[in-house]
Amino acid sequence: MLDLDSINLGFSRKAGVYDDYGATHPAIRWTRSVVRQRVMSLIAPGSCLLELNAGTGEDAAYFAERGYRVHATDIADGMLAEIERKVAARGLGHQLTVQPLSVTELSRAAGGRPSASRGAGFDLVFSNFGGLNCVPDLRPVAEQLPVVLRPGGFVVWVLMPRVCPWELAQALRGRFGVALRRVRGATRANVEGARVATFYFSPAQVVRALGPAFTLIGLQSLSLFSPPAFMDRFPHRFPRLFRALTQIDARVTRWPVLNSLGDFVMVTAELNAGAQ
């Protein structure tokens, strides 16, 4: 069961500082660019996109400004307020809609292309930066996807996997809690003073949760050779090395085995025709 109160409290507190932190963080900017390019390679402007755990709406606003119809959902009041602020400030009312919604209630998502037989029909369901890692079991979320996705629609989920070499390496510095938290499968993260339950999934677990209704079409790790966001000093101290490591990531992180490790893993799947 989701700890909705802790999630709301922690991420609402974080809402006011999150955009400024991400805007100046090379690792976050690079990760966002890779994920956004993946989404735009699958669906064209004018398509309908449903974002889960949309946070402050940085990705939602980005896609809306490029002609996509975006429906952003979240449960943190502070995050939802930030999205509404972006909609008003950037004049995105016709492209970006907002709904307070938990991923456990995905079938209630509004918007998409109306369908007499299926209800809302989104072209792609998107979740970035481990929002789904707050869910203890992905199956109840995945089971609702055929209700909101059109046949042939896509899922692009970016989650934190069970193995991150950069975190394992923290054992060399005596930081065993950081090193082992993913291996254990779950932890409680301190999000602005709130203790938020966090769960880690292998790509195989994500694929099993999606089930036979989906076909896996892509698996890519993010921040495998390049350092993850928590090592925020590295890109500023060693900018050339950081850029070189991201170039390695761009070339090899779709390879088998390597595509299952890293700070994040991007899972792309397609809803099979006829799936209910």
Domains of the chain (ranges; CATH) run 4-271 (3.40.50.150)
DSSP letter string, 185-250: SEEEEEETTEEEEEE---HHHHHHHHGGGEEEEEEEEESSSS--TT-TTHHHHSHHHHHHHHHHHH
Q: What is the mean pLDDT of residues 211-218?
A: 97
Crossing angle for the helix pair 77-90 and 58-65, nearest 10 degrees? 30
Which residues, 6 or more positions from 88, have their beta carbon under 8 angstroms from its beta carbon? Answer: none
Helix (H) or strand (E) run with residue 40 in it: helix 26-42
pLDDT tier, 115 (very low <50, low <70, confident <90, very high otherwise): low
Six-digit token pair at 102? 């938990």
Provide the pLDDT for residue 112. 74
Nearest to 275 by CA among 138, 154, 102: 154
pLDDT tier, 24 (very low <50, low <70, confident <90, very high otherwise): confident
pTM: 0.93
Of the listed ranges 78-87, 103-112, 263-272, the least confidently predicted one is: 103-112
